[in-house]
Amino acid sequence: MQANIVTTLERQVLRLQEELRAVTEKNKQLSAKLAQAFPDSAWPTLHRVYCGHKSTNATYIDTPCRMEGREFSHLEGLWMVDEEGWKSRNSHKPFVVYETYECNCRNRSSAGATDVPPSALREEIRVLSQPLLQLIEQQTKMIPGLQAYLDKGLLKDNLIRPPYVFFYHFGVDIQESARVQDHESYEDFQLLWCCLEQRTQDFRQTISACFDSGYVANEHIPWLFKPGDLLVVRSEVSTVVKQAKIIEVQNLGDESTIGIHVSSIRFDGRFRRRGEPMAFTLRHQPKHKITDLEIYPYRYASAELKAEMLRLGREFFACRKWRYVALNDPVGSEEHAVCKIPLVRFVPC
């Protein structure tokens, strides 16, 4: 009897030891995943998954993978139980990256359900540090042209969202400006810029190579026009230079409508800056020659066109020293009371 009790206890001890080894090994695996998810030298990345079958949202601290359920396979990972508590405990982190996935539940009988690794549908960067946020806002107000992106929602709700067009246009300018100021959050700022560079590097190289070859694809139009840059605007009667403010792209059927708000200097006895919306359409095709566009950045203009625009600009600016009379134009006619390059409607007297 006593021998049987001892044998039973020994079996229980062995079973508990085996369970302890299994738990220890599982703990090592989880610790490794945590270290991979939040390395000391990088920024935290959280993964959000929306499941239509369960009608739920969940946040995970590691990249989710497809797990088999009784009937359906779901994207799951190491579940973050208390996200707000995590934010409090990690308030020293300057920012966090969120990657969003859709579960796309599959029936277990679906072939290849676990073959394809999931990819994030979208991402966003949430700035947690108020000093870092203030530094970025300060730079956006100091650099000409960048304010246009702030007006369009950059940093709304403390978020930076793709496609990060502002970073392609002004990333170097912002970084240099922040470096010169030697702000207290400059190290956090450098980490954020490192994150943006890593996430956009391949794409930036691709479109830069395309632009350098003199061509642009429809989907890359927003990167071609930088707010504050000079533009060449072509029409049947003239070619003029204007300044870009902000661009909107609307895709309709087999065409894209490119809307650009521009400003220009006009003259009616005084120099005046005038803003106006302009637009042109592009048919969907692999590439367009940049200088064939109705509106394109001045930096891509030919040397001959740049020389002609510079000559006309100097002639136009010389108007400040003259007095004028209209040439057979009705008094008060605004259509003809405006002088703009290259159609000068006033002459010196």
CA gap 25, 19 in Å, rounded: 10
Is the confidence at residue 330, as pLDDT, over 90?
no
> How much is the pLDDT for 113?
45
**Which among 289, 287, 219 is positioned nearest to 250, based on CA atoms?**
219
For residue 123 the two structure tokens come to 């991402």
Domain boundary among 186, 212, 238: 212
Residue 9 confidence (pLDDT): 63
**What average pLDDT score do residues 11-38 get?**
60
pLDDT > 60? residue 337? no
173 to 202, 312, 325: CA distances (angstroms): 20, 30, 45
Q: Judge whether 64 lies within some domain.
A: no
What is the mean predicted confidence (pLDDT) over 130-152? 84
Same domain, 332 and 261: yes
The mean-pLDDT minimum among 64-68, 134-138, 155-159, 269-273 falls in 64-68
Q: Would residue 49 count as lying in a domain?
A: no
Nearest in space to 262 (alpha carbons), one of 346, 154, 148, 345: 148
Q: Which of 111, 58, 96 is nearest to 80 (CA)?
A: 58
- Check whether residue 232 and residue 206 sit in a common domain: no
Q: Residue 322 domain-assigned?
A: yes
In a domain, 105, yes or no: no
Mean pLDDT throughout 31-59?
A: 67
Residue 94: both structure tokens together? 């300057």
In terms of residue numbers, what domain contains 182?
129-212
CA 272 to chain centre: 33
Residue 214 to residues 265, 290, 316, 330: CA-CA distances in angstroms? Answer: 28, 6, 30, 44
Q: What integer pLDDT is reported at residue 159 of this predicted model? A: 93
Of 183, 212, 241, the one marking the end of a domain is 212
The pTM (predicted TM-score) of the whole model is 0.72
Q: Check residue 3 and give its pLDDT.
A: 59
pLDDT given at position 332? 40
pLDDT of residue 338: 35
Residues 227 and 304 in one domain: yes
Indicate if 191 and 282 belong to the same structural domain: no
167 and 228 both lie in a single domain: no
Domain for residue 60, yes or no? no
pLDDT per residue over 223-250, tens digit each?
A: 999 988 888 888 765 667 777 776 777 7
The CA-CA-CA angle for residues 148, 141, 191, to 5°, reads 95
Reported as a single tens digit per residue, the pLDDT across 115-125 is 556 777 889 99
Looking at the 3D structure of the chain, how many domains does it have?
3
- Exposed e or buried b for every residue in 184-206, given b needs 16+ CB within 10 A? ebbebbebbbebbeebbeeebee
Query: pLDDT tens, 265-290?
Result: 877 667 788 888 888 888 888 899 99
Are both 230 and 316 inside the same structural domain? yes
